[in-house]
Amino acid sequence: MELKEYDTLTIPKELDDFIDRGIAKGVAHSNAMPLPKRRNPYRTWGQAAAAVIIGGGLFLTVAANVPVMAKGLENIPVIGQLVKVLDFTHQQEQSGGQVTDGTKITVGSDKENTIDIHFKMNEELVSDVPAYVTKYEKYPYRLTFEFNGVREFDAQAAAEEFRQMPFVKDVYRIITMDDSAYRFAVEFTQDVDVSVSEYKEPGMIQVTAKAKDSKEAGTPESAYFIQSGSYEMGEQLAILEEYLFSYDGVSFQKDQQGTYILQMGPFTTEAEAAKQLKQIQAEVPDAESFYVAERAEGQRPAAR
């Protein structure tokens, strides 16, 4: 049979089930067995080595004789050591990674609700994730990433991968004046449970998004933002951001017309936002057109 014919074979859905059951049965059996008496260590090691050789040989033989499996193995991602899992329940913005330079970002996935972000240098996977900042927001619901020490990123390919995830509404790149940094946003159609896991050896970021349990979902609340007028994503917005470098809570946001604004917030009250706006307009060039706007949770800002 030609290799191309193997590509059309259908692997039974139940196969994973049977494998999982077999593993569980083996674990249960080993837990139930009494502790063995002390044995000759050389004999034990010999048997273990033989088992590895036989088991490995059997697996490789099966893989070699079933081209579909062999072909699939080439695409299985390498999972390194878990460094940490970021939880956005109590803290919107979090960071991690190591200081690096010259890496390339690649994005892929083999699961419906998961995206893997890998990092390469000279086409080889690197040991650590580059320094990054990630944030989950609710006005609208979106996850943003900023990676530093990165020189290459195919934003279009990454957007296509992220759009395969459920609940993803939009993916867009965010401009930065730093030529060794890349930023992008993933916007969701609803509030989701987002998990971001960092791995090393090789470095990888894994993003998972799932629907929130109805019991976990709180009552949506509106908030206030200081907003600029609408612009195309470009140098003018980037310069405005530079002016506001010393302020917290500054970010770019796509508006309802598909253009972009610079915003600061959220603020709990309109008075709080108005007080901050007055200070900004007194200190920051080109901030005369900034204004305060109320926004519902999950809503993009209106264009202006």
For the segment 244-268, the average pLDDT, to the nearest whole number, is: 96
Show the tokens assigned to 277. Answer: 């706006």
Per residue in 103-148, pLDDT (tens digit) is 999 999 878 889 999 999 999 999 999 999 999 999 999 999 999 9
Angle, alpha carbons 197-14-194 (nearest 5°): 20
The structure tokens listed for 214 are 């109805």
Cβ neighbours of 240 (radius 10 Å): 21
**Amino acid identity for residue 34 in this structure:** P
Q: What average pLDDT does the chain have?
A: 80
Higher pLDDT, 35 or 138: 138
Provide the terminal-to-terminal Cα distance of the chain, rounded to the nearest Å.
63
Q: Give the 3-state secondary structure of residue 50.
A: helix
Q: Which domains does the chain have, with CATH numbers?
A: 3-73 (no CATH), 81-211 (2.60.40.3500), 223-295 (3.30.70)
- Please indicate whether residue 228 or residue 70 has the higher confidence score (pLDDT): 228
- Residues 254 and 257: their CA atoms lie apart, in Å, by 8
Is residue 229's pLDDT more than 50? yes
**pLDDT tens digits, residue range 51-102?**
433 344 433 333 333 444 334 433 445 578 999 999 888 778 999 999 999 9
pLDDT at 216: 66
The alpha helices in 74-196, defined as continuous H runs, are 155-162
Return the ∠ at Cα 149 (arms to 148 and 150), rounded to 5°. Answer: 90
User: Distance of CA 137 to CAs 94, 142, 165, 257, 299, Å?
Assistant: 12, 5, 18, 20, 11
State percent of the chain over pLDDT 90. 61
Count of positions (residues) in the chain? 304
Closest CA to 196 of 83, 27, 38, 59: 83
- In sign, the C-alpha dihedral spanning 274, 279, 282, 284 is negative
Name the least confident of 9-18, 62-71, 162-171, 221-230. 62-71
Helix or strand holding residue 92 (H, E): none
